[in-house]
């Protein structure tokens, strides 16, 4: 039993070190920025959202080959729970979405469209609880609880604010949370590169 616990801690430590390069935060910042811009009414940024999904793996690997692996090395950790995790995330998102829509429907007083936009920032914040809680379980990094608090409380704050246009609330929230994650990502990347200089490759004599 003790060996199993130690292996779990070792896996968490490896995942935590890998997650400290700021990549997750930078990607979230980019996604929320594009999402915010896509709500401006122009629609010119909308095609970029599927591109993120299509090229996400290449973006991650390219970034880490340049900034992360040369500093901490490369160790592939087998993820035997990937299918269960995928189902778990989809289930969580589905349940939250149903509860969110039903709550808005019964509390909207007949103005469902405007109410959905009004409470969308809070809904986004609640959605983010699932991924960040999962990241915490994989890494043990307590910064994920800060991200949960900022996402939920920030979403609630923007949902309670009054805007002249109904779409301004979600748009401004996504822009604000984008700036927060970009700043967090750049800070973590700076700390990561400072604490982990590039590893020297031994030269053959």
Convert the pLDDT of each residue in 102-137 to its tens digit: 777 676 666 777 788 888 899 899 889 888 988 898
- pLDDT tens, residue by residue, 152-164: 999 999 999 988 8
Q: What is the C-alpha separation between 180 and 151, in angstroms, rounded? A: 10
Q: What is the C-alpha separation between 176 and 183, in angstroms, rounded? A: 11
pTM attached to this predicted model: 0.80
Per-residue pLDDT at 204: 47
Half-sphere exposure of 21 (CA within 13 A, CB side): 23
Q: What is the CA radius of gyration of the chain?
A: 20
Reported confidence tier of residue 6, pLDDT bands at 50, 70, 90: low
Among 91, 101, 90, residue whose Cα is nearest residue 123 = 101
Q: What is the C-alpha separation between 13 and 91, in angstroms, rounded? A: 28
């Amino acid at each position: 039993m003790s060996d199993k616990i130690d292996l779990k801690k070792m896996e968490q430590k490896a995942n935590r070190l890998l997650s400290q390069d700021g990549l997750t935060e930078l990607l979230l910042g980019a996604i929320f920025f594009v999402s915010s811009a896509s709500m401006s009414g122009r629609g010119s940024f909308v095609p970029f959202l599927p591109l993120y999904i299509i090229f996400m793996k290449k973006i991650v690997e390219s970034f880490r080959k340049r900034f992360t692996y040369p500093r901490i090395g490369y160790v592939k950790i087998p993820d035997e729970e990937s299918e269960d995790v995928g189902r778990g995330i989809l289930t969580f998102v589905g349940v939250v979405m149903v509860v969110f829509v039903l709550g808005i429907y019964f509390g909207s007083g007949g103005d469902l469209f405007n109410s959905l936009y009004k409470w969308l920032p809070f809904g986004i914040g609640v959605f983010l609880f699932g991924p960040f809680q999962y990241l915490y379980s994989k890494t043990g990094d307590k910064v994920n609880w800060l991200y949960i608090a900022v996402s939920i409380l920030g979403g609630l704050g923007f949902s309670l604010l009054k805007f002249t246009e109904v779409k301004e609330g979600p748009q401004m929230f996504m822009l604000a949370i984008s700036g927060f994650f970009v700043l967090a990502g750049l800070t973590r990347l700076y700390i990561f590169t400072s604490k982990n200089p590039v590893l020297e490759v031994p030269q053959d004599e």
